[in-house]
Structure 1
Amino acid sequence: MAVPPRDRPHFHVEGGGQNEAYTSPRLVISGLPPARVRAAHAARLELAIGTALAAGRQRIAEREDGVAEGKPGFYLEFDIPIAERGAVEALENKPKAIELVAVRPTVEGDEMVSATVFVPETAADFFVKKIEAYRDEQTRTGKPKNEALIARIDDIRVAVARSLFTDDAQYFPADGRPVWWEVWLRDGGLDIFQSVAAKLEVAIKEHVISFPERDVALALADEVTMDRLLRNSDAVAELRLAKDTPSLFLEMRTVDQADWANDLVDRITQPSPLAPAVCILDSGATQAHPLIAPGLDAADQHSYENAWGVGDSVYWNGHGTSMAGIALYGDLETALSHGEPVALGHRLETVKILPPTGQNEPRLYGAITATGIARAEDHAPRRRRVFCMAVTSNVGLGRGRPSSWSSSVDQLCYGGGDRRRLMVLAAGNVRGDIHPAEYPDRNDLEEVESPAQAWNPLVVGASTDKITITHPDYDGWTPVAPAGDLSPASRTSAIWDRQWPIRPDVVFEGGNFAHDGANPASAIDDLQLLTTHYRPNMRLFEAFGDTSGAAALGANLAAGVMTARPTLWPETVRALIVHSAEWTPAMRQRFDAAGSQAQKLAMLRRYGWGVPDLDRALMSAANDATLMVEDALLPFRKDGSAIKTRDMNLHRLPWPRAELAALGDLDVELRITLSYFVEPNPGERGWTRRHRYASHNLRFAVKRSLEGLEAFRQRINKAAQDEESGAVGGGAGGDSWVLGTIRDRGSIHSDIWRGSAAALAERDAIGVFPVSGWWKEKPALQRWDRSARYALCVSIRAPEANIDLYTAIANQIAVPIPAA
């Protein structure tokens, strides 16, 4: 089934919660063919084509029910003398739907060129008849029929994945390891390829490059799986290795790097003066870099200490400039190489919070961060921005306990309740030598660094898809992390005490490490991101990665959401990023292997909610619709001298009941993400009930299909009472949720329910309700009457259905939903 495009904006609802008391022509080949002994040549080709057809028919028989799509057929590979290579085009026959799909490149010394054609089952005997006619029939001039083609064919065999590989043959991945392939698809084959790949659990990138007769997608598979994909579809034309290494640019002479940079500069449209900004709190930046200048005005550079200046420094190896390049462009390799116009939707600001030499005292970082933020806001007070900081400290870590720095970050995000800020933080990197045998256990033992134990910012860890090593200096080296898994540099919260937030929230590309089998692993250029170098007079580009690069990518995506939806709250932007995140196949495999909730929680603390995507964060599809709600409630009330819980909000969902009911038992998904900011109350006091860190906590629960509203309300009250007493709440337990109660950590909660469409049709209400916090337990601080605002993202997805849920929801929203 074709995958519907994401071309419809998410629904945006302000408020809406029902407040309740909480109780082409054929080629003619000219010239003479090589001399052949006609009968012997025909006999040899008949044997070859017979063997090839038998193998081809066997491949058709091996097509898998429920997997295979497209016209049944197979691929044939032909060897033709290199001097006669012009004959390859005659292998194609459009009336019979026989298509020449790939011709492998030759190198000096080759005697043959290999060409591969796709042959539908209905035309299986086409070449047999050609050979028979060559053997038995004459033209009017007395020549063997079909001589111009058949006499030029030296051999025929059934084709496999290697036959379609058009990169240098020495790089064909034949050792059983999965690699990223560039899959070049036949015209009209994209939908079939995506569908079959999904059935075979082959990871593919969502973004596709399209040409007049070919679409190019990226897929992760080993040779056996790729060959299986070929058997079950007619979509693939050729295979190449994904060219995802930045070493090409890094090894250029400075003058050549400048040529590439200038080409990109000529394609850039500068951001609007009103555009949102990524404000980087780091070591400064080199504003004069030709690729930084279009997005960074000199007036938007600031420093904690005026004497430090605003430029980048050698002491920090140009870290801030590297962050700036990623925050502005993403992985710079893409912008440099694709040749398309680049419209910058956001700008940069930089605040130098690291001294030119030496380090700040860790206990001062909270004040330095606050002052740095104030520098930017005082200069441009009305500008929307996302703050990005990859500076971390391993001083005083305590399995998730807040530090002064992390608490300061939480306070800055909360903003006194009236000036919320979105911050993106790096989770921190594993330090010292990285040994492949320790991966990923060491990552789980090295806890996220301060200030990333904060509750309110978006905390970013590093994953990686980079596994292709092409540089000859690293021949024989092996990547440490498999594609789609955690980067070897990334820290996790696996050892944290259970009450602390999930960290990281999400992961972005942070590069990979490689090893030679004898020494510690290294972060080689082939496996890193590409960004801007802080000394452009020496060189323009730099390899970059780890959680710093991942955090910069996270800020880039956050700014993309702000650009597209400028009125959204920071809590909502954070919600959309988490809501758009998905676990890669490698991550899902580890989740699937988790046999208990504790093991699932360990995986959640390693990967967060997965890898976000800007398209998913911004746009819905016909069968995958997202509703964004921004609302608030009063969590507490004063009753005499006691503070009690007050309100919950009941959101009646504009569900397309008829459409869902019509799908019956078809599997569908419901995903919910709840995001809010807490006011921190830090202090090392044992974290008992009366000394909670968070001002308040919110939870969500969904009405079950056979549950009335009154029973739903009672279940929510029971869940809150359970959580107050320290028991497992009933609001989320079981009931086909992927995570259940383990989602309720920190101040962002996301989960997926899977079940039948008919059951989802009746799950038409979500309750958002408070559970304790120091606002309630410390009445003397006079916070009990504060409002708590939140963002709620709700998606329904029917991936196997050709149905327009989006329009049905739009029609529902146009009609007021009656209260219960």
Structure 2
Amino acid sequence: MEETFPHLTIQREAPVNEKRSREYRPPPPPSDVRGHGRGLLQKLANAKEQSASDVGGFDDRKLFRFTVHKGFNPEDLRKISTEIEFVSQEDETVVIGFASNAALAQFEARLSTMASGGDVTNKQVIYALQSIDGWSAEDRRGWALRKQGFPESDEFLIDVELWPLEDNHQGRDQEWAKFEEWLKRQGIEKKDQVKQPGLTLCRVLCNPDQAEQLLRHRDVRTVDLPPSFGLERSVVFQDIQNFSEIPDPGEEAPGIVVLDSGLATGHPLLGSAIGDAQSFLPGEGAHDENGHGTHVAGLALYGDFERHLRAGAFVPTLRLFSGRVLDKDNNATGFVENHIEKAVRHFVEQHGCRIFNLSLGDANKPYNGSHLKGLSVTLDTLSRELNVLFVVSAGNHRIGEESPDGLEWRDNYPNYLLDDAWRIVDPAPALNALTVGSLARHNQSWNSQTHTHDPSEVPIAQPEQPSPFTRGGYSVDGAIKPELLAHGGNWAINTRASHSLMERVAGLGVVSTNHQFAKGHPFAVDIGTSMAAPQVAHLAASILLEHPDADANFIRALLCLNAFMPEASQKLIKQDKSFRSVCGYGQVNEESLHRSLENAVTLIARGPIGNKRHHFYEIPIPDEFVSGGKRRLREIAVALAYTPPVRSTRVKYRATRIDFRLVTAPDLEHVTTMFNKATEKDDYENIPELKTATIGQQARSKGTVQADFWRFRQFNAKSKLRNQKLFVVVTRNDFPWGDNLCDTEEAYSLVVSLRDQENEEARLYSRVKMQLEARLPVRVKV
């Protein structure tokens, strides 16, 4: 087991508007019209050559990929030639179409005329074209196939989707018939199929050579592996008697409080860890009549419950507390704000609890960019007054008129996650709380596991992509919400039942404790951001095992410092930065959360800071971090958290502002001069930060927990990290109206991490520790 070390302490050196429909504006003529024509001519020639390598097809036309100006109407392709048939719009700038030889000849003639300076009709259409290509074998590779490749076996199952010719009934029938004939000629065995106007899926058994042929078939849209990340029934339906007796975590174990629908205190996996269970709902007992609270409690106590279930071992390290604030229908009686405040004060005063999970949200209160109110304000106020951390769920999309329908759930994913209907709901916008969104973990339903040849149940999201129901931010003033992600489940559509949405019965959710354990059902599967939040709450409470005196600021900062973006979600953000509002900083990596490693060292700083003041921290950078000719990933991560007073009557809401900058300078004197001279707001904002930040100072500083990540593959001789010193500068600058609300000195926590995890020989921890110790005798305390 890899050796771990305690984290090091470092001393400081002294209103969403109503959406307007966007009218398409054709692009202006290119600066070089002739050159544009010549370029498209060459690209057309290359595309014709590429498409000539396609096989199959229900007719003789070629398939082309047109890269177009954003907002382009795909039907306008027919203005080039009436013999171009629009097939699919793959995203905002990619249109797929069939073209006959006559159409290609017409198109080529128009481009030749443009290239020679002549005038052509419908030239705006040609101006909107950026490129013409074939639909390549790589384009046909689905998500899982790109990630995993074909199985290493003589034969395997794959799923093949054909182009959906929704508006061409005759062509669709021809496509189906010709493709099945082609499969037979190739010796590919069709196991099952889904045939509908908007979707044609075939699950086939083939060998590697046949699979490569499928990747070249003109009528194939995608080739992918069947769903495989499933929650097996055998995992869920286990006998509780198979597990050893659950030990008591001990009186000194950190507490975690679940504020929900109550708790089934007799559950064999929970009972020994329960510290107290109370009802704060007038006239109701503390027991769970709904099941939601017990399900959430298992995740809060154990974190990744599925991992423990597969390992067959449950050893609680936390003390579990339950406060019932919801009734049997998961609703509140009266104002839930009152129930929650009473519960929080009880568990703080009686048990010293500091971590509270709230997996609840008011779907009638999506955040629309105006003032925060209701439960959000209550949580923000209690967070500051009692120094407690609330972990809340982002909320789930409520299916209704604004939801996709049928196959649109899959085809429009993930773009609808950015729609107004998917905005976070109260209390998720609370600035001083941690908000958690949901990731998909599984993509194989129970039916798909049982009937391996049946492709009819189609998952919407792929593993490690945002769940199709998860809500996104931002919060007040553009603060990043949710901050973190955890597994909360997936949805699927049943293509044999009119593309009906499978919300809960597909086995794609999160397994945890069941309140009906006495009936022989100790475990249950549920879906939602309600399941994601308690997993983060568990990690938050577990920090107290190593850092028992940690405050809420430190816990928030440390969790976000150790966040990483799963590859599948990162890809969405690269395509459109707006998905940051759904994914936040990512998922918590537990590897170096509690303690440092030799190749991943964490530095801790805490301090109260006065208004209009800067705090300076020099970050030691060992030579080996920036040396070595081998390209490898290295990372600097910085996170800061504070808990400001708030006012719902103010547009800016938070009374104080604290943020950080990561900068380089020759020495401390230069960096202090640079910041102390920046008295005007514009001057401060223009101070250059170390380049390549993942989030950026402007975006991250709007929240009360801020994290950013600088990643490097190689350092050249002129790199600032090689030639200058590195500093984190923390700055406080309050709003004038908050003078009477803020403390003279406001608390904050700062954590910094250096990571060289691809270098097995890295000794970052030892080098950094040595440099910090060498500084202590001569450091001037300010």
Range of TM-score over shorter length: 0.5 to 0.7
Which residues of 2 match residues 517-536 of structure 1 at below 5 A?
A: 517=495, 518-523=498-503, 524-536=505-517
Q: How many residues align?
A: 565
1:497-516 CA-partner distances (Å, limit 9, x unpaired): 6x232110000001101112
TM norm structure 1:
0.63
Matched residue, 1:277:
255
Which residues of 2 match residues 328-343 of structure 1 at below 5 A?
A: 328-339=301-312, 341-343=313-315
In structure 2, C-alpha distance between the alignment counterparts of 1:443 and 1:402, rounded to whole Å: 22
**C-alpha deviation, 1:306, in angstroms:** 5.3
- What's the secondary structure of 1:324's corresponding residue? helix
**C-alpha deviation, 1:739, in angstroms:** 1.9
Distance 1:243 1:462, change over 3 A: closer
Matched residue, 2:141:
none
Matched residue, 1:390:
359
TM norm structure 2:
0.66
**C-alpha deviation, 1:754, in angstroms:** 3.1
Distance 1:650 1:658, change over 3 A: same
In structure 1, C-alpha distance between the alignment counterparts of 2:301 and 2:232, rounded to whole Å: 17
What amino acid is aligned across from residue 344 of structure 1 in structure 2?
P
**C-alpha deviation, 1:731, in angstroms:** 4.2
In structure 2, C-alpha distance between the alignment counterparts of 1:679 and 1:17, rounded to whole Å: 25
Matched residue, 2:242:
263
- What's the secondary structure of 1:814's corresponding residue? helix
The answer (yes or no) to whether the contact 1:265–1:291 under 8 Å persists in 2 is: no
Matched residue, 1:373:
344
Which residues of 2 match residues 41-440 of structure 1 at below 5 A?
A: 162-164=151-153, 172-173=157-158, 175=160, 244-250=230-236, 252=237, 257=238, 259=239, 261-266=240-245, 268-297=246-275, 300-305=276-281, 307-313=283-289, 317-339=290-312, 341-356=313-328, 359-360=331-332, 364-381=335-352, 384-400=353-369, 401-415=371-385, 419-432=386-399, 435=404, 436=409, 437-440=411-414
What amino acid is aligned across from residue 537 of structure 1 in structure 2?
A
Distance 1:632 1:244, change over 3 A: farther
In structure 2, C-alpha distance between the alignment counterparts of 1:361 and 1:398, rounded to whole Å: 23
The answer (yes or no) to whether the contact 1:249–1:541 under 8 Å persists in 2 is: no
2:641 to 675, 693, 705: 675
Matched residue, 1:805:
764
- What's the secondary structure of 1:629's corresponding residue? strand
Matched residue, 2:5:
9
1:317-358 CA-partner distances (Å, limit 9, x unpaired): 31101111111223433323313x432110210000113458
1:609-645 CA-partner distances (Å, limit 9, x unpaired): 01112223123333222212222222x2xxxxxxxx2
In structure 2, C-alpha distance between the alignment counterparts of 1:790 and 1:346, rounded to whole Å: 24
1:753-783 CA-partner distances (Å, limit 9, x unpaired): 234455334342211111223xx4344x263
What amino acid is aligned across from residue 267 of structure 2 in structure 1?
H
- What's the secondary structure of 1:483's corresponding residue? coil
The answer (yes or no) to whether the contact 2:438–2:467 under 8 Å persists in 1 is: yes
**C-alpha deviation, 1:249, in angstroms:** 4.4
| 2:731 is the counterpart of 1:752 | no
**C-alpha deviation, 1:529, in angstroms:** 1.0
2:742 to 783, 794, 815: 783
Matched residue, 2:570:
588
2:462 to 460, 478, 482: 482
The answer (yes or no) to whether the contact 1:430–1:443 under 8 Å persists in 2 is: no
Matched residue, 1:81:
none
1:642-699 CA-partner distances (Å, limit 9, x unpaired): xxx2x2111122332466356698663211111111111222x5x1xxxx31121111
**C-alpha deviation, 1:368, in angstroms:** 2.1
**C-alpha deviation, 1:707, in angstroms:** 4.6
- What's the secondary structure of 2:478's corresponding residue? coil
| 2:400 is the counterpart of 1:441 | no
The answer (yes or no) to whether the contact 1:6–1:615 under 8 Å persists in 2 is: no
In structure 2, C-alpha distance between the alignment counterparts of 1:665 and 1:721, rounded to whole Å: 41
Q: Quick check: 650-659 or 674-683, which moved more?
A: 650-659
Distance 1:397 1:811, change over 3 A: same
In structure 2, C-alpha distance between the alignment counterparts of 1:787 and 1:652, rounded to whole Å: 21
- What's the secondary structure of 1:482's corresponding residue? coil
In structure 2, C-alpha distance between the alignment counterparts of 1:475 and 1:468, rounded to whole Å: 10
- What's the secondary structure of 1:484's corresponding residue? coil
The answer (yes or no) to whether the contact 1:493–1:606 under 8 Å persists in 2 is: yes
In structure 2, C-alpha distance between the alignment counterparts of 1:393 and 1:431, rounded to whole Å: 10
What amino acid is aligned across from residue 426 of structure 1 in structure 2?
S
In structure 2, C-alpha distance between the alignment counterparts of 1:357 and 1:447, rounded to whole Å: 24
2:471 to 491, 510, 526: 491
The answer (yes or no) to whether the contact 2:618–2:726 under 8 Å persists in 1 is: yes
Distance 1:811 1:788, change over 3 A: same
1:502 to 480, 490, 503: 480
Distance 1:241 1:586, change over 3 A: closer
In structure 2, C-alpha distance between the alignment counterparts of 1:8 and 1:590, rounded to whole Å: 34
In structure 1, C-alpha distance between the alignment counterparts of 2:357 and 2:561, rounded to whole Å: 20
**C-alpha deviation, 1:440, in angstroms:** 2.2
**C-alpha deviation, 1:293, in angstroms:** 0.9
In structure 2, C-alpha distance between the alignment counterparts of 1:803 and 1:379, rounded to whole Å: 46
Unaligned runs of 5+ in 2: 15-148, 163-206, 213-224
The answer (yes or no) to whether the contact 2:356–2:389 under 8 Å persists in 1 is: yes
Q: Quick check: 612-621 or 536-545, which moved more?
A: 612-621
Unaligned runs of 5+ in 1: 20-159, 178-222, 229-238, 595-599, 637-644
In structure 2, C-alpha distance between the alignment counterparts of 1:749 and 1:731, rounded to whole Å: 18
The answer (yes or no) to whether the contact 2:459–2:492 under 8 Å persists in 1 is: yes
What amino acid is aligned across from residue 649 of structure 1 in structure 2?
H
2:660 to 694, 697, 700: 700
The answer (yes or no) to whether the contact 1:10–1:620 under 8 Å persists in 2 is: yes
In structure 1, C-alpha distance between the alignment counterparts of 2:478 and 2:336, rounded to whole Å: 21
RMSD of aligned C-alpha atoms?
A: 3.3
Identical columns (%): 21
**C-alpha deviation, 1:396, in angstroms:** 4.2
In structure 1, C-alpha distance between the alignment counterparts of 2:687 and 2:302, rounded to whole Å: 42
Distance 1:367 1:6, change over 3 A: farther
1:735 to 691, 709, 726: 691
In structure 1, C-alpha distance between the alignment counterparts of 2:378 and 2:678, rounded to whole Å: 31
In structure 2, C-alpha distance between the alignment counterparts of 1:682 and 1:454, rounded to whole Å: 11
Which residues of 2 match residues 602-751 of structure 1 at below 5 A?
A: 602-634=578-610, 636=611, 645=612, 647-657=613-623, 660-661=626-627, 668-683=634-649, 685=650, 687=651, 692-704=652-664, 707-717=666-676, 721-722=680-681, 729-731=685-687, 735-740=691-696, 741-751=698-708
Q: Quick check: 395-404 or 268-277, which moved more?
A: 395-404
In structure 2, C-alpha distance between the alignment counterparts of 1:286 and 1:482, rounded to whole Å: 33
The answer (yes or no) to whether the contact 1:720–1:770 under 8 Å persists in 2 is: no
The answer (yes or no) to whether the contact 2:7–2:603 under 8 Å persists in 1 is: yes
1:170-218 CA-partner distances (Å, limit 9, x unpaired): 7x446599xxxxxxxxxxxxxxxxxxxxxxxxxxxxxxxxxxxxxxxxx
